[in-house]
Amino acid sequence: MLAGRSVVEHGRRNGVRGQIQMSQQTVAIVGAGLGGFQVASVLRDLRFPGRVVLVGDEPHAPYHRPPLSKAFLLGTTEESKLGMRPPTFYADNRVELITGKRAVAVDRAHRKLALEDDSVIQYDHLVLATGARNRPLPVPGTDLSGVHFLRTVDEARMLRASLGHVKRAVVIGAGFIGLEFAASALKYGVDVTVIEVANRPMARALSVPMSAVFARELTKMNVRLLFNTQVMRLVGEGAKVTGVETVEGQVVPCDLVVIGIGVIPNVELAATCNLDVQNGIVVDEQLLTADPNISAIGDCAAHSSAHADGIVRIESVQNATDQGRCVAGRIAGRPSRFTAVPWFWSDQGDLKLQIAGLTAGCDRTVVRGDPAGTSCAVFCFRGERLLGVETVNRPADHMAARRLIGNHVSLTAEQAADERFDLKQPGAAAALSRPSQP
């Protein structure tokens, strides 16, 4: 498939009994987002001496996405502050950053990665960190002007420029993107309606009691929440969006729409070179695909987790960061299993949501603190096992929960609910009684 393409760089092979010396190896990373950046920078932190090539299809050096729906949208963080490192970092650390070019094919047999401009990178190890893309909304009208997505800095810039000029916004999807955008838009004095197919906010990520806290508090902030409904079409005058029509025929007038109905993992590159793909690129406990020269990390990777049943694909900063570190460590000669505790956060106005662990499949919840207020924790159990803890405005409980879950320590429902019970104690005791992890 790659035959005939110009080979711009060759890894030099000078093997001793088939082994390539590390200084002569090339690590190619596809995706210059958080995970890809993390692999490159940790390789250098670990003094990996070989070549590191980081390829991204966006026209930017790696940048942080979380501020896009928060501080950047609010205007309190400028675009120049979003970069993961200053522009000089890449040359200073011998990271060959290629931006604005898509990787289009992998020749596994010859370890070649082809880019869209027909250049080819010869790799010894390939890391797929291709992330995910916006899920399109399959209804008429999404091509009207005033209809936005929010994944990239280019999309966020356009949205921010519009916010000062609009009066009414409709957000489709009450997930993280939708609600963070809604909270930010309120600060511009915009009237916000959220349309969600499920019966509660962040239903995929949150327990029923924590969803209820957010539904109530967002309503108090004047976000109008429409649950259990779907969008039939977006309506417009000329080329401009003027409203969103639900399947019941209700038209919500607006001059701006944000679609935040989830993401699709970018697995095509892996699929075309016959790697196993199941709602993500399937990797083992060291984040390797079935090909020992190809790893996958971050939003695009599906892995088994000690914190879940079966295979999971996690879309979060922590996951991409920790997986990047794990893969860089292995390539640099320090292999380890990926065991990090999953955790998440979301800032929505004055509400700081933090989640430790994976709570899908929980069959019992216990609330600590007053669920009628804006500071409480929900402990999610399956049987006796503590799966995860959701907190709002309780950072100390969140940190304690991460330790509990990391040490696989459970506690009783009574302990969880009792504000006088010190959550730091069981985790600390368990950590002391265990041999330290390699």
260 binds, among ligand NAP, ligand FAD, none (CB under 5 to 8 A by kind): ligand NAP
Beta strands in 173-308 (DSSP E): 191-195, 223-226, 231-237, 240-246, 251-253, 256-259, 263-265, 281-283, 294-296, 301-304
Q: Which residue is nearest to ligand NAP (CB)?
A: 175
402-407-410-411 Cα dihedral, nearest 10 degrees: -70
Amino acid at 2: L
Instruction: Kindly state the greatest CA–CA separation across the chain.
Output: 71
Closest to ligand NAP by CB, 106 vs 128, is 128
CA pair distance 57, 102, nearest whole angstrom = 5
266 near ligand NAP, judged by CB under 6 A: no
Residue closer to ligand FAD (CB basis): 318 or 365: 318
Could you tell me which residues come within 8 angstroms of residue 114 by beta carbon, excluding any fewer than 6 positions away?
Answer: 1, 2, 5, 103, 104, 105, 106, 107, 120
Could you say which DSSP state residue 59 is in? S
Give the binding-site size for ligand FAD (rule: CB under 6 A): 36
Is residue 320 near ligand NAP by the rule CB under 6 A?
A: no
Per partner kind, with CB cut-offs from 5 to 8 A, the member of ligand FAD, ligand NAP, none near residue 195 is ligand NAP
DSSP state letter for 46: T
Identify residues 348-367 at the interface with ligand FAD (CB under 6 A).
Answer: none
Q: Is 343 in the site for ligand NAP (CB under 6 A)?
A: no
Helices assigned H by DSSP within 187-280: 208-220, 268-272
Residue 198 binding ligand NAP, by CB under 6 A? yes
Q: Which of 62, 141, 178, 265 binds ligand NAP (CB under 6 A)?
A: 178
Task: Enumerate residues 6+ apart whose C-beta is below 8 A from 58.
Answer: 32, 99, 100, 152, 153, 154
Told to check if 297 binds ligand NAP by CB under 6 A, we report: no
Which residues have C-beta within 8 Å of that of residue 86, sequence separation ≥ 6? none
Q: How far apart are CA 9 and CA 434, in angstroms?
A: 48
223: contact with ligand NAP by CB under 6 A? no
Verify binding: residue 387, ligand FAD, rule CB under 6 A.
no
Q: Which range, of 175-183, 232-240, 277-285, 405-413, touches ligand NAP by CB under 6 A?
A: 175-183
Query: With binding defined as CB under 6 A, does residue 231 bind ligand NAP?
Result: yes
175 is a site residue for ligand FAD (CB under 6 A): no
Interface ranges with ligand FAD (CB under 6 A): 30-36, 55-58, 65-66, 68-69, 102-103, 129-132, 150-151, 177, 266, 269, 298-299, 315-318, 320, 344-346
Instruction: Report the interface residues with ligand NAP, using CB under 6 A.
Output: 69, 132, 137, 172-178, 180, 195-198, 203-204, 230-231, 260-263, 315-316, 344-346
